[in-house]
Chains A and B, each alone.
Chain A
Amino acid sequence: MTRFGMAVDLDRCQGCRACVEACKIENNTPSSVFWMHVFRLEDGEYPNTHIDFLPRPCQHCNNAPCVKVCPVGARFKREDGLVLTDYDRCIGCRYCEVACPYGVNYFNWRSPDDAFADYQIPFDDPDVASVTGGAVPAYKNPDHDRKYGDEQRLTSGSAHQKGVMEKCTFCVHRVEQGLLPACVDTCPVGALKFGDIEDDETPISQFIRSNNTFQLLEDLGTDPSVVYVGGTAPSSTAREIERPTTGVDR
């Protein structure tokens, strides 16, 4: 059996958020939505301060609380370990979001068009539309119009419809083409690795096996498929610095 997972090499991560940006463009997520988020954390008191970076994609838990609570089976886990959302089935109750201890879920509070409007780039500008056909965003990835997996559900990409839940898909559309997720692919320092973590022979399994690892909030028993290598789990006194802005007025 395949179980896709990600290894995050914290000794390498430099917190640049290239992964965040690659994800946003690959998956067409609108403003304020970060399927991949990178914590920049500060801990300790001057001058014994330290800084840590912690990329946070969806953990694609083996024992996923979000899947359990979904009342209609819109959030589901595939046999290959990917935890996905069926955008055509989700009723928008947001139970998965409160059930998830990692804060990885993003709800479409607005219509995708409205959510992109924060970027203040009128994609419907006639000059732009003459090239893009008015696609929102202009760099819209056609892969997300397709359905994936045996289950053939609409699970890939973002900004499909208002009122449904979304989150990191491990780039299901890329994985099924044999490509790495966009975040992994772009990481300048190779801090992100992806592959089958159940097969002992894969590079990622060997990498995980030969290092000290931890999972986020291990005690909760969610058994994430994202494994952190090197570094330590964020302490309770860690403070987040340099947060991204969110365009949604709060």
Chain B
Amino acid sequence: MAEFIDLVLLAMLAITALRVIFLKDLFAVVMLFGIYSFLSALIFVNLDAVDVAFTEASVGAGISTVLMLGTLALTGRTEKKSPHSSILPLFVVLVTGGALIYGTLDMPPFGHADNPVHEHVAPRYIEQSPTEVGLPNMVTSVLASYRGFDTLGETVVVFSAMVGVLSLLGVVRREEGDTPESGLVSHQVLHVVAKLIIPLIILFALYVQFHGDFGPGGGFQAGVIAAAAFILYALVFGLPKAFAVVEPKVLQWMASFGVLLYASVGLFSMYKGGNFLDYNMLAANPLSGQHYGIIIIELGVGITVFAVMLSIFYAFGSQAERSNVQ
């Protein structure tokens, strides 16, 4: 049954990808890309990668799609016909694809338990992490503890993405009443429902943040979900009102604070006499030290990701609103 579901979902993915190639309406392309992300997240669930599915559904299907839609509002929604012939790209793609298919024949067969991937460090993570780190969710253990330094790097990458987007676009603070048409003004029902839904979303984000040690979830996902709540508010009520709730300036402070919180945990453990990000030093008992460390760094990641995603959305949204006025 699992193979059957896998096959059906992969077939749907292939059809969606093929359709994206031939569509000229970019709105439809972006919507199909959202479906593509949802479908790949479903495949991740089916392949046991629940944490990855969580991230893909919230980040890939949510934030990416919203950002692409915001860009389309600025750049126009139809693709013009390319003057170049498509023979050469097709040839390149067929040759590369053929080479890759030939390459897969040397790969270990799908799903066997004695594949090389499962033999090096993976058994240690699976067997030792529940006792060494003390968390049931192995993905969180590896992400936040064993590979904590790597995750710090990823957080810095996300932070620098915000710096890049803001230096390219900039956030324009607008005067109140400048754009009276801002937001989905005529949709009264949406206004009421959004007010009902947003607290639920924020509650769920907090649950994901602090339950990530025991189930799927963690700082990355929680940050994105919390940002999604504010994005919903900005979409329905307009950017100026969203700016009144969370100022863009505050977000920049928050993003830096999250990264610094993460790094300071590492420095604190060095001060205590351990290595950088050695959580065992944070408390008398190594297990509770691990617990404190993971909770604090996940909080740092969550704050940074929330602030970065929301300020990137602000940047795109204020561009779109400005072009709408002109």
| A and B associate | no
